[in-house]
């Protein structure tokens, strides 16, 4: 869509307000709104000024003036506002030089796509994330100097099988058995369908919706794959719509990877492939119907997986999900069909267009622009350096002997380990100035101070059960 087309849309839809949205460094959408009278075709070059010092991980206060530059191709009507509101996703720029801001995640995604084209290997990287989430009825949490707790609840939670509900009608999915009984055990069919309808109205292509494995309202709605930056946009719009549809129905949604103990966490398996001139490049006559290029791509992913986790699994809670011996694919191996491998080759279709690799260790707490860009750079490093992924592992990894498992590397055991891996292994991300040293250093510092160290300082409720009588 061009700026002129956006202005025509403004007239035809009777737009009253324009909401400009942009991504903070960590991965949350931020926004402010202007009256429609403030929008013109020039706005798509001139942008709007704002204070960047209040955004997490961004500018210091003495250099805080920044610009948001709306992208006309992202124009969509906001489905939740009372007055007709046009939503525009923006890039961030310096007001003096108009250069794009290095810590803007969307800018990093743009640069990753530009670097891909510059290599001549391919012209398009397609990504298809499967973001899982929980739908809860109630959530409460808090921590101060002398107390700390969390509490989540769901009418569907198996823990409520004995609760007095006047009456309790049962049909609550048992732990790890939510994939996927029909209603009335599945309580959220209509809510997920409403989410799909709103997502489609906003222009997103949806492939399926269903309950997920965990009790307590775990769900998944699958987006159709798309180019890297566009999929970053779509993932943010997806989260925005899913959360707001739940909220207006009296529920709350979380993309937190592991909100429940002893049941499955929420992952975000990411399908990816490279194309050139409309031709898929990952189909071939090698293992799993892959091309040699695809195998090298996998080699890059596996080699750099520990560093990638700092972006794909970027929270301390991510490593409550990535635990050896449980449901998450922590073992760094690849296989066709085998869902216990961290990289899987889906075998649903023999079509070359469907040939792709699926990276299974990411989770939906990640910043999609950064996670997709980092994985692309790792895969390209694998192709450029012909990194051999080794032999596939077609056995059930969860049942390997200790001797066999000792030869299979695994993802980091904590965010602190992932950040250390990123510090030691990030040169492949710096190619083409996609990630800059400033971005890597700021990410490590922010995550260490505000998450890793902050968690270390606080007593955990379970520690009282373990140690109070010491």
Active site amino acids: 51, 130, 132, 212, 220, 269, 339, 358, 360
Residue found by looking up tokens 């969860």 in the block: 398
CA distance 392 to 405: 14
Work out the angle between the directed axes of helices 189-201 and 228-248 (0-180°, nearest 10): 130
CA distance 87 to 147: 41
Residue 264's alpha-carbon distances to 307, 329, 462, in angstroms, are: 24, 12, 20
Residue found by looking up tokens 């989430």 in the block: 133
User: How do 65-70 and 148-153 pair as beta strands?
Assistant: unpaired
Q: Is-cis flag, bond preceding 111, omega within 30?
A: no
In terms of Cα–Cα distance, which of 256, 229, 255, 228 is closest to 242? 255
In terms of Cα–Cα distance, which of 189, 268, 257, 187 is closest to 235? 268
CA distance 314 to 308: 9
422, 310 in Cβ contact below 8 A? yes
CA distance 262 to 419: 26
* Strand extents, DSSP E, 204-302: 206-211, 218-223, 226-227, 252-254, 268-276, 279-280
**Which one-letter DSSP state was computed for residue 451?**
I
Number of helices (H) and strands (E) in the chain: give both, helices first: 15, 18
Residue found by looking up tokens 């006309």 in the block: 72
Token pair for 281: 């490049």
Residue 337 gets the label, from left (phi > 0), alpha (psi -120 to 50) or beta, of left
Is 457 in a helix, a strand, or coil? coil
Phi and psi at residue 440, to the nearest 5°: -60, -50
**Counting beta carbons within 10 angstroms of the beta carbon of residue 348, is it exposed (0 to 12), middle (13 to 18) or buried (19 or more)?**
exposed
55, 101 in Cβ contact below 8 A? no
* Strand extents, DSSP E, 312-447: 334-336, 343-345, 357-359
């Amino acid at each position: 869509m061009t700026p002129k087309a956006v202005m025509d849309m403004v007239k035809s839809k009777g737009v009253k307000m324009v909401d400009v949205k942009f991504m903070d460094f960590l991965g949350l959408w931020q926004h402010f709104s202007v009256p429609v009278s403030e929008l013109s075709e020039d706005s798509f070059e001139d942008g709007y000024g704002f204070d960047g010092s209040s955004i997490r991980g961004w500018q210091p206060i003495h250099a805080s003036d920044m610009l948001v530059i709306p992208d006309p191709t992202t124009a969509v009507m906001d489905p939740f506002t009372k007055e007709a509101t046009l939503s525009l996703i923006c890039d961030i720029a310096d007001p003096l030089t108009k250069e794009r801001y290095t810590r803007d995640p969307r800018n990093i995604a743009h640069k990753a796509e530009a670097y891909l084209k510059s290599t001549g290997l391919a012209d398009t990287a397609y990504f298809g994330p499967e973001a899982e989430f929980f739908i809860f009825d109630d959530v409460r949490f808090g921590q101060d100097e002398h107390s700390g707790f969390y509490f989540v609840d769901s009418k569907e939670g198996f823990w409520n099988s004995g609760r007095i509900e006047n009456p309790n009608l049962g049909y609550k999915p048992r732990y790890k058995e939510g994939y996927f009984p029909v209603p009335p055990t599945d309580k959220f069919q209509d809510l997920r369908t409403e989410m799909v309808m709103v997502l489609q109205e906003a222009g997103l292509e949806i492939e399926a919706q269903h309950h997920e494995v965990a009790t307590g309202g775990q769900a998944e709605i699958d987006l159709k794959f798309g180019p890297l930056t566009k999929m970053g946009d779509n993932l943010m719009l997806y989260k925005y719509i899913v959360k707001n549809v739940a909220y207006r129905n009296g529920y709350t949604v979380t993309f937190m990877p592991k909100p429940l103990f002893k049941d499955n966490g929420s992952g975000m398996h990411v399908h990816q492939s490279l194309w050139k001139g409309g031709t898929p490049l990952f189909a071939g006559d090698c293992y799993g119907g892959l091309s040699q290029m695809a195998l090298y791509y996998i080699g890059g992913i596996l080699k750099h997986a520990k560093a990638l986790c700092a972006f794909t699994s970027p929270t301390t809670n991510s490593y409550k999900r990535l635990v050896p011996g449980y449901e998450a694919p922590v073992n760094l191996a690849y296989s066709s069909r085998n869902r216990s491998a961290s990289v899987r080759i889906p075998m649903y279709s023999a079509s070359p267009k469907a040939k792709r690799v699926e990276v299974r260790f990411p989770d939906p707490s990640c910043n999609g622009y950064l996670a997709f860009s980092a994985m692309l750079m790792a895969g390209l490093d694998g192709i450029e350096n012909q990194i051999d992924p080794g032999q596939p592992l077609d056995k059930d990894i969860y049942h390997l002997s200790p001797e066999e498992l000792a030869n299979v590397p695994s993802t980091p055991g904590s965010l602190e380990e992932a950040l250390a891996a990123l510090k030691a292994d990030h040169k492949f991300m710096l190619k083409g100035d996609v990630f800059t040293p400033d971005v890597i250093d700021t990410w490590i510092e922010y995550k260490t101070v505000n998450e890793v160290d902050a968690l270390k300082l606080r007593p955990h409720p379970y520690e009282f059960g373990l140690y109070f009588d010491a």
